[in-house]
Amino acid sequence: MTAAGSRWTVFAALLFVAAPAVADQAAPEPGAPVNARVDRSAAAQASARVPESREFPMRKKRLTGSLAGTGMPLLEGRVRFETKRPDRVRNVPASLFEVEYATVPLRLGLAESASLNITAVRGRTGAGAMVYVFDRDTDWDLAGEAPIVFGEEDGVKVARIPISYRDVVGGQETPRSTELVLNEPKPGSLEYHFDEMWEVTLSYGGEQVSLALQHMGTILFLDVNASGAYERIFYPKREVLGLGSRFFQIEVDFSNEKLLMKETDRKPVDAGHPAPDFEAAVWRSDRVFKLSEHKGEIVVLTFWTPLCPGSKAEAPLYHALAKSFSGDARVRFVAVSKDAPTLEAYLKDHEHAFTHVVDPALWDTYGVTAPFVTFVIDGRGTIVTRQFQAGFKGGLEEQLRALVAHERSARAEPAR
């Protein structure tokens, strides 16, 4: 047997072998693919499965400035001083005059430690200089706390203060630490942010995505281009995360330094399930691509972005594959991007044999968070395979050619 014949035998066996028969299994409709029985069984098993929950550890990381790509700074604000003294503050330096008080929130929105704050005072010395004193160990006692000393960074007065505090979870105290960054843009005006974030990598079904979190914040940031930067803001209270064909609710547990991922009841977008129908305008055209109008055809649907290094590396391979099928009207290659300017800039210098559409909402419909994800959809509108990055290494080309040959055979159509 030739090498090509051997490869065909292997992939045909992988794609089209029927599952063992069971008493209540429905027979395929006349003319349906041989693997229709397998598809139905997979869908039935998925619908009966128990939703999954997973935990992932968070990693603490120092970060200055803003989160790359989002323009969103870390938890920050202006330190607002007032003359009213908080009841719990003790041992304010007696050498200060015209004293004012402020609090900086150390963490937000968590049940047992929601009100944890850092106390600060400002006042003038006998020589008239303005000084700031912060409660570095968060015990409301300023005894022994030295005035803040500012340095200069990029022409701005900046001070970095180590902060220690005790986190309370279930009645148990755990010592924690962080760094508070202060800058004085003008005399008497003080701003703060926490020079800290948390990172976590989530994985499911062979796919993964990285997230970043503000210090004790409630907003997540996604590395949606697999580029090492965080480009998209994610609101866990009102959004779900698509990963590995499933949809998850995300919960943050700062106290235990972990992130919880809980599966929702949204239907999976995976092999053996119907592909969600969609309608999207074709880029630089007055045409519209509607999936349901292409029944009887094989659709290769790829979610990608030129901003992703993996997407850029594999794009030429997908272009060559699409070009090799350019004479076959029953095979369609559709690439889904998020924004037109990025797509247009890339295609100015690169060949493309795809039908391109720009539709950010379609990424959510198909549960795609990070590229490069490819779906192969058969002539009945059923997803045959879902590939995450490195599709060619996963046998995508061989699977596609085997599927094309199979559907021709099912129609008793002679090969070209």
Q: What is the pLDDT of residues 320-361, one digit of tens each?
A: 888 888 878 888 999 999 888 888 888 888 877 789 999 989
**Which comes out higher in pLDDT, residue 2 or 236?**
236
Q: How far apart are the first and last CA of the chain?
A: 22
Q: Are 336 and 254 in contact (CB under 8 A)?
A: no
In single-letter form, the type of residue at position 217 comes to G
**CA atoms of 134 and 108, how far apart (whole Å):** 19
Judging by DSSP bridges, how do beta strands 197-204 and 189-194 pair with one another?
unpaired
pLDDT at 109: 37
Neighbours of 81 (CB within 10 A): 18
Q: Residue 352 to residues 157, 323, 326, 367, 385: CA-CA distances in angstroms?
A: 51, 8, 11, 25, 23
CB neighbours of 293 closer than 8 A, spacing ≥ 6?
none
Tokens representing 216? Answer: 């004790």
pLDDT at 307: 77
**CA atoms of 373 and 363, how far apart (whole Å):** 10
**CA atoms of 374 and 390, how far apart (whole Å):** 10
Most confident of 3-12, 41-50, 192-201: 192-201
Structural domains in the chain plus CATH codes: 3-49+267-410 (3.40.30.10), 53-60+197-263 (no CATH), 75-194 (no CATH)
Q: What is the pLDDT of residues 28-65, one digit of tens each?
A: 333 333 233 334 444 445 455 677 889 999 887 765 44
Q: Residue 179 to residues 157, 228, 283: CA-CA distances in angstroms?
A: 16, 23, 47
pLDDT at 115: 52
pTM over 0.85: no
**CA atoms of 348 and 343, how far apart (whole Å):** 9
In sequence order, what DSSP letters do the residues of 289-318 get, joined into one string? EEGGGGTTSEEEEEE--TTSHHHHHHHHHH
pLDDT at 278: 95
